[in-house]
Amino acid sequence: MVLLILLYRRGSREQALDQLDIPDLYSWQADAVSAILNDDDVFVSAPTGGGKSAVFQIPAIMESGRALTIVISPLRALQLDQVQALKKRGVYAELLNSDLSQSERKRILDKLPETCLLYLAPEQLTRKDLNDALRQCFVKRIVVDEAHVLPQTELDFRPSYGKIKTFIQELPVRPQIAACTATATNRERSRIIEALGMDEPRCFIQPVRRKNLLLLVKKIEAGSRHQKQESILFHEIEHVLSEQKKRTAVIVYCPTASRVERLHKWLSVRKWKVGKYTGEMPQQKRQKAQRDFLSGEKPIMIATNAFGLGINKPDVRLIVHAGLPLTLSGYVQEIGRAGRDGKTAKCILFYSSADVESNKRILSLTKNPDAANYGVSGLNALKDLITSSECIWYGIAKYYGEKLSEPCGHCAHCLAKQARLP
């Protein structure tokens, strides 16, 4: 029987690749797929757009109709995007969330034994109807996508992330566990592995540096008492936008929703085609803003860090930070949304002297001291990176515990060093 299953898997990998329209796998992807088919727990860290999803989707498709893969991810937009893409390719994937009608939810739960991939947020795991339905299924695999969210949120506003391990332990048969992320320090990786109860996982860690991203940093200060710092910042951003092609896809990240509102208004009155996105907006408005951005109707998105996770927009040519991101990991996640098609993209970070203290106040608002300390540590790492003179990519690689490579030669710090040479 085992031999027959192995032969079936070997014979169907090519079929799964064809169904996903993937011509071939990178060597690390092929190794990760093999590890999953060998029933090993797997931890995958690879840059945004690097092909992490294929690692668990291929085995799931190969086992379609015989086993269920549950994919836990943090945002509905991310889940919906992936499920729609899979359905277009004939993959039996479903999404469970609170937007579904009772009849639609019942239809999905009744069909679970035949489902290939089930996407949901961790809050769904405590629903009785889901747990009842899972008794009729063979849950082969639990995948935690965007796993970097887990150590950040289990301490604070998404306690359901801390309950994933309990859910796994209560299943009749322990499933295989896979965790996927674009960024994780050694400490974060250990916390994720522990939080999920992973069993000596095979780790596939790809370099965080992406050679097609040009990282630039500029400090903004008021030139006189009569000049408002934010006004100078907005003029700088408009200048950067004017240098781009008219329909270039751009994301401008702001540290607060109030700055999103002010910058959106400022650019709108100047006839820029801009959308806005914050976590405080009603869901329908967020969805419309996302659709307008993806379609190119409003190619410039002004947003907080609530936007972008898992958004399938490969041709973003510019990421602008209108203020210091909250943490270094947040910065790396956000610039990772540029140039997913492999073509050159620019990432410009504008910051002021007051940003560090402002971000510390934001991070202190959490009720959990551990979460606040965790955030401040990431904020200090970002401050040290941008105020030093070392290559930005070099510093990022060091933060993530990677072997140090040669300086990139084209980030803000490398260019500054070259300019000082005689």
Q: How far apart are CA 389 and CA 407, in angstroms?
A: 11
> Could you give the angle at the alpha carbon of 194 between the alpha carbons of 191 and 195, nearest 5°?
80
Who's near 205: CB < 8 A, 6+ residues apart?
43, 45, 46, 402
Contacts of 188 by beta carbon, 8 Å cutoff, 6+ apart: 148, 151, 329
Report the C-alpha gap between 402 and 405 in whole angstroms: 9
pLDDT at 340 over 60: yes
Question: Would you say residue 319 has pLDDT above 90?
Answer: yes
Q: What is the pLDDT of residue 3?
A: 35
Q: What is the pTM of this model?
A: 0.85
Q: What is the pLDDT of residue 47?
A: 84
pLDDT at 156 over 70: no
| CA-to-CA separations, 124 to 64, 101, 111, 146, 222, in angstroms, rounded | 22, 15, 17, 17, 48
pLDDT at 263 over 70: yes
Distance of CA 271 to the CA centre of its chain: 31
DSSP, collapsed to helix, strand or coil, labels residue 21 as coil
- With cut-offs at 50, 70 and 90, classify the pLDDT of residue 223: low
Please give the biggest Cα pair distance in the chain: 80
Provide the 3-class DSSP secondary structure of residue 20: coil
Residue 316 has pLDDT above 60, yes or no: yes
| Mean pLDDT across the chain | 88
pLDDT at 48 (0 to 100): 77
- The model's confidence at residue 1, banded by pLDDT at 50, 70 and 90, is very low
* Contact indicator for 273, 341 with CB cutoff of 8 Å: no
Query: So what's the pLDDT on residue 109?
Result: 96
Which residues have a Cβ under 8 Å from the Cβ of 68 and sit 6 or more positions away?
Answer: 112, 113, 115, 116, 117, 118, 134, 137, 138, 139, 140, 141
- With a pLDDT cut of 90, the percent of the chain lying above it is 64
User: Taking 70 as the threshold, does the pLDDT of residue 254 lie above it?
Assistant: yes
Q: What is the pLDDT of residue 152?
A: 63
Distance of CA 93 to the CA centre of its chain: 20
Rounded mean pLDDT of 223-235?
77
What is the per-residue pLDDT across 66-108, written as a single tens digit (0 to 9) for each? 899 999 988 776 788 889 889 999 999 999 988 889 999 999 9
- pLDDT bin (cut points 50, 70, 90) of residue 8 is very low
Sheet of 42-45, strands arranged across: 93-95, 117-120, 68-72, 139-144, 176-181, 42-45, 202-205
Backbone dihedral angles phi then psi of residue 69, each to the nearest 5 degrees:
-110, 120
In whole angstroms, what is the distance from residue 40 CA to residue 203 CA? 10
pLDDT of residue 364: 84
pLDDT given at position 374: 82
Q: Which domains does the chain have, with CATH numbers?
A: 2-205 (3.40.50.300), 213-420 (3.40.50.300)
Edge-to-edge strands, sheet with 316-322 = 213-219, 345-351, 316-322, 249-253, 300-303, 274-277
Query: Residue 7: pLDDT band by 50, 70, 90 thresholds?
Result: very low
pLDDT band at 266; cut points 50, 70, 90: very high
State both tokens at 116.
Answer: 């290939």
Average pLDDT over residues 186-201: 93
357-398 pLDDT tens trace = 999 988 888 777 777 888 899 999 999 999 999 999 999 999
- What's residue 303's pLDDT? 95
